[in-house]
Amino acid sequence: MQSFIHHYGYAGLFLVAILESMCVPIPSEVTFAFGGALCTTAVATGKPLNIGVVILLGVLGSVVGSIIAYEVGRSAGRAIVDKWGKWVLLTHKDLDTAELWFDKYGSVSVLVGRVIPIVRSVISLPAGVAEMKRGRFIVLTTVGSAVWVSLLTGLGYAAGANWNSHVAKYFHYVQWPVVAIVVLLLVYGYRRRFKTVRAQQSN
């Protein structure tokens, strides 16, 4: 991922930001921090990135990806459950619960969710399923994304030249244990969820 952003610069960063907000499991913590670090060192184009442009494209990409995920949830959420509910482990009861949750805590969920790793990648889908008002969703997503992207980009910028010698090495050491833990948690959660959905469908 870092080599992709290093090679394609602004375009690569923008594309990754979109995908990450479309529920694709890409670690934004690394993406935007690395973008900030590239503001202090030359990329493939031969010169450093501009931190203001990095933040702007990061926020825009996050908002665009979030809107796409939101619209998918809003237009096809229940249809997906009707057709593939047993495969994606969702029931209409889950959708009803999501709607009730977003009726009460939707604004806080979207705003805070945009600054929580993993959650920020998937929060747009249930917001769409619950048919949260588009205008409010976009505003809250923009605010939350601006805070998150600015913070990470700033940290990467502060790391600067130390990124490759210290920070990137640290991420390299910890990424596989983290991936292993995430996979184990996903398998455990999938098994529990599978049993729950089967029980609900049999009633």
Q: In tens digits, what is the pLDDT along the chain, a chain of 203 residues?
A: 667 777 778 888 999 999 988 877 777 777 888 888 888 876 656 688 899 999 999 999 999 999 999 998 888 777 776 666 555 556 667 677 777 777 787 888 888 888 887 778 888 888 888 888 899 999 999 999 999 999 999 988 887 766 555 555 565 555 566 667 767 776 776 677 666 666 665 65
Is residue 186 in a domain? no
How far apart, in Å, do the first and last CA atoms of the chain sit? 45
Is residue 169 in a domain? no
Count of domains observed in the chain: 1
Is residue 54 in a domain? yes
pLDDT tens by residue, 26-62 = 777 778 888 888 888 766 566 888 999 999 999 999 9
Provide the token pair at 60: 């825009």
What domain range is 84 assigned to?
2-164
Is residue 152 in a domain? yes
Is residue 143 in a domain? yes
Using alpha carbons only, give the angle 133, 139, 141 rounded to the nearest 5 degrees.
95
The pTM score is 0.75
